[in-house]
Structure formats: C-alpha cells, structure tokens
Structure 1
C-alpha cells in the first residue's frame, strides 16, 4: 500500500503596516488567504488566483517565502505585495476579512497552522 500523498496548498501572507490580512468563511474562524491548486497550476499561479478570488487584490509582486509542513498539508507560503491604496473585498466563499496586528493572532479563532505560519514569517524578518 502506498503512503498517502499530502495535500498541497498555496498560502498567502499579505502584510500592511504590521497587520496581516485574514479571511473568514463564517465570520468566526480566521485564516490566511489561499487554496488548493487546479490541474496543471503551479503553486505561484494558485496563490495569485486565490488572492484575487478571495480578496479582489492583485499581487504586484508575489515571492515564495518558505514551505510549511502541517499535519496533513504542505503549504507553499508566499508573500504578496499589493498597492498601498488597494482595498480588499470578500469574495469566493469569503464572508469577511480583516487586517489584524500579527501579535493579536492568539486573540481570535484560527488554526494552529495559521498562527505558526505568521509567527515563522515574522521571525524570519520577512515583513
């Protein structure tokens, strides 16, 4: 029997003035924008598509930051630079979004993986 192939996801960390962009499908549980790749789609293409679909933001620049291996998913983590006047809008299954100071992440309902990715992002000085 072959081992299970891990799930793959592109995850986007978008920072503005020390705040991280979070999305929510239900207004309760928060996550970083991102999703699973389509057929023949690279992790970078997935990140661009998901950011646009979920937040209506176009990445001016998208940089691969690191891979994060969670319990069941390999996250290809990207940082996205968006225009200073760009205003995100919820879309594609997203009910609401917010810019949250990264040090307040422990005060909202989010996954351990989301907290670890943001923590690693700031520890590595990728702001």
Structure 2
C-alpha cells in the first residue's frame, strides 16, 4: 500500500479519536457510494455531521483544509444527500473538516473546523 494511504488512514483514525473525545458519536467511517465517499459520519447533539478528513505530513505547502475545493464539496454534498435518504435521517446536517498534520509515531496537530461549508445544490 502506498505510504500516503497509510498516512491518510492514520489521520482518519486520529480524527475519529479526537471527535469521540469531544463528545461526537461516530456512526460510520469510510461510507461509499460509487466513487464518492464520506470519511466520517457522526452525531453531535441533535445534528448529523459529515466530516472530511485531510491529512498532511506538514503544512509547508498549504494547510490540509485548503485541499477541500468546490469539486470535493460537490461530491460530499451528493454523498451526504444519498446517505441521508438511504438511512431515513431526519435531522439537520452539518459539514465539518478535520485536518491532521503529522506522521504516524510522531506528534500531530488537529484542527477541527465546524460548519466549514454549505453544501452545493444537488
């Protein structure tokens, strides 16, 4: 497996641990609908939270969350709509980004951006 995949999995695990420590209840990880995916689906109080996790070794080039562009937002919006329909969810939906900077075995920095963006129309 490519090293960037290992770092990505590690980052998603760190993000999930962080969210759980902050009172979120993880209900799904790596939900897929064709080529679209949602890294983490969680419940925070009375809200369904769709979480995009971005992991980078360092932020020298750009902050990890800056990699969430319009195309990614559109794909997340479509995936979230499908998830909500498929699971008969009847609660507000929020889109968060969790960025993880670091490498496995070393220290990491986590930045949680709540309500990071509004979904695009679908």
Q: TM-score when scaled to structure 2?
A: 0.30
Larger RCO (alpha carbons 8 Å, 6+ apart): 1
| Structure in which a larger fraction of residues adopt helix | 2
Taking structure 1 as the reference length, the TM-score comes to: 0.29
